[in-house]
A and B are shown apart, each in its own frame.
Chain A
Amino acid sequence: MIEFQDLYKGFDGKAVLQGLSLKIRDAETVVIIGYSGTGKSVALKHIVGLLHPDAGDVIVDGQAVSTLDRDALTALRQGIGYVFQFAALFDSLTVADNLALGLRRRELTEEEIEDRVQEALALVDLSGTGERMPAELSGGMRKRVGIARAIALRPRYILYDEPTTGLDPVTSAVIDRLMVRTREHLGVTGVVVTHDMRSAYTVGDRIAMLYEGRVRQVGSVAEIQQTEDPVVRQFIEGRAE
């Protein structure tokens, strides 16, 4: 389970998260929605210890992330897959090496690593692209490689940061289907940060709206779709006013 406990974080005197509290139960996918700059990605980065909170904490499997030492944090990260907004593939490595890099930190033989890489590429429909360089891939393919890199680790949790941003509607639908398939096949707990409502409705078990640094409303897809809250309503309907 992942739990945000009264999390505060600011940058250069500007408060971003202002008391974020949210529980993500095992095997569910929670989608965090909200306006740009409300701290969705910042919240995600706290789960893997990429950012240190000003106050409060994130509890993952009973461990307060900000209190973990280097070795404990490394162990925690080995159970979490992270899909970055722009994939964050390593430019100097082939697709296969991008996937294998995380696996080389585990007690696996080269054969096992190769099998896992091929399996993950097959799951994202990119078999046969292992020897290509990231620069040779389209935006959608890069995102799928990013997801494959996370899946290959066989994590307990997968965190998706804006997985469909910048993609055309068809490619977005492919990524959505992939996220659903990943949850169904691997049974992982997912946290998805997005402002793409179609994607949120497709992949989310629950949706949490982040507003002014804290959760404005959290509920099932149906509950969010029928919300009476004017702020949430405006956001999910995409109205200017």
Chain B
Amino acid sequence: MIQAIGRRSISAIEAVGRVGQFVADMVRGLRDVGIWARLVVIQMRRIGVDSLPVALFIAAFTGVVLALQASYTFTGAVPLYFVGTLVGKTMMLELGPVLTGLALAGRVGASMAAELGTMKVTEQVDALETLAYDPQSYLVVPRVMAATLMFPVIVAFAIAVGIITGWLTSLALLDLSTPDFIKGLKLFYLFKDVWFGLLKSATFGFTIALVGCIVGLGTRGGAEGVGRSTTRTVVYSAILILVLDAFWAVVLL
């Protein structure tokens, strides 16, 4: 029992050390601007354009549900224009960043882990090194940087769509006018709501890409290994997003 705890503790400490080493290598990889600069743009397009439909789809339905649930909760107790307040605040502070983050952990993180894992097991990463490229500069830096920069953009669109569908739902299904919805939206609005959500989403993007790269490049054992890495990336990313979400709430709110 004690031995098992000891082994697990050592393995956990080793894992932390490996992540630290990986991040240090990534920072060192930033030196080769000539390698990663062009690739960042390609990755930004892949992450941004490819992820937008999923993120907007989720946000659209979240906005609908938020409006309906707010109305259901407020009926008879709170003025209905508070629906706008709840939809706006919730989309900006929490559901926009977190739901998008969780969805993209599956979409972006899994895709990175699968791609890099396949490259690893087919020796493409070794080939890259023999061609005098640092895999950190060529593979990791562009992905992590692109995800960090693009997640806030995707989340901004998601927030906007969520609010719009919340507003449309209020018009169509609730007895709420546009001026009332906007009145509610403005009621407790703070600029901090926006930057808090976007900052949070940037850290989610960084984390998802980093996990995808670490797990992907650590893949062993053929197709089965790639499958394991993909699953592991989604699970680790989802956990870290929720932990980070709580962390930012404690630190910044």
Spell out A's residues near B (CB within 8 Å). 45, 48-50, 70, 74, 77-78, 80-82, 84-86, 88-91, 101-102, 105, 149, 153
- Residue contact B123 to A78, C-beta cutoff 8 Å: no
Closest B residue to A155 by beta carbon equals: B130
B236 at the interface (CB under 8 A from A): no
- Residue contact B133 to A105, C-beta cutoff 8 Å: yes
Contacts of B119 in A (CB 8 A): 90
Q: Which of B118, B124, B130, B132 contacts A50 (CB 8 A)?
A: B130
Q: Which of A45, A77, A85, A86 contacts B131 (CB 8 A)?
A: A77
Q: Which of B122, B129, B130 contacts A86 (CB 8 A)?
A: B122
- Residue contact A77 to B127, C-beta cutoff 8 Å: no
- Having A91-B118, A153-B131, one finds 10 other A-B pairs with CB under 8 Å, namely A70-B134, A77-B131, A77-B132, A81-B130, A84-B123, A84-B127, A88-B127, A101-B133, A102-B132, A105-B133
B180 at the interface (CB under 8 A from A): no
User: How far, in Å, is B42 (CB) from chain A's closest CB?
Assistant: 10
Contacts of B118 in A (CB 8 A): 91
Spell out B's residues near A (CB within 8 Å). 28, 118-119, 122-124, 126-134
Contacts of A77 in B (CB 8 A): 129-132
CA distance A149 to B128 in the complex (A): 12
Closest A residue to B29 by beta carbon equals: A70
CA distance A146 to B64 in the complex (A): 54
Contacts of B123 in A (CB 8 A): 84-86, 88
Closest A residue to B129 by beta carbon equals: A50
Closest A residue to B35 by beta carbon equals: A105
Closest B residue to A41 by beta carbon equals: B123
Contacts of A70 in B (CB 8 A): 28, 134
Q: Which of B127, B133, B134 contacts A82 (CB 8 A)?
A: B127
Contacts of A85 in B (CB 8 A): 123
Closest A residue to B31 by beta carbon equals: A70
- Residue contact A90 to B127, C-beta cutoff 8 Å: yes
CA distance A45 to B125 in the complex (A): 13
Contacts of A102 in B (CB 8 A): 131-132
Contacts of B126 in A (CB 8 A): 45, 50, 82, 84, 88
* A80-B130 in contact given A86-B122, A91-B124 (Cβ < 8 Å): yes
Contacts of B124 in A (CB 8 A): 88-91
Closest B residue to A82 by beta carbon equals: B130
**What are some 21 contacts across the A-B interface (CB < 8 A)?**
A49-B129, A50-B130, A74-B132, A77-B130, A77-B132, A78-B132, A80-B130, A81-B130, A82-B126, A82-B127, A86-B122, A88-B122, A88-B126, A89-B124, A89-B127, A90-B124, A90-B127, A90-B128, A91-B124, A102-B131, A149-B131
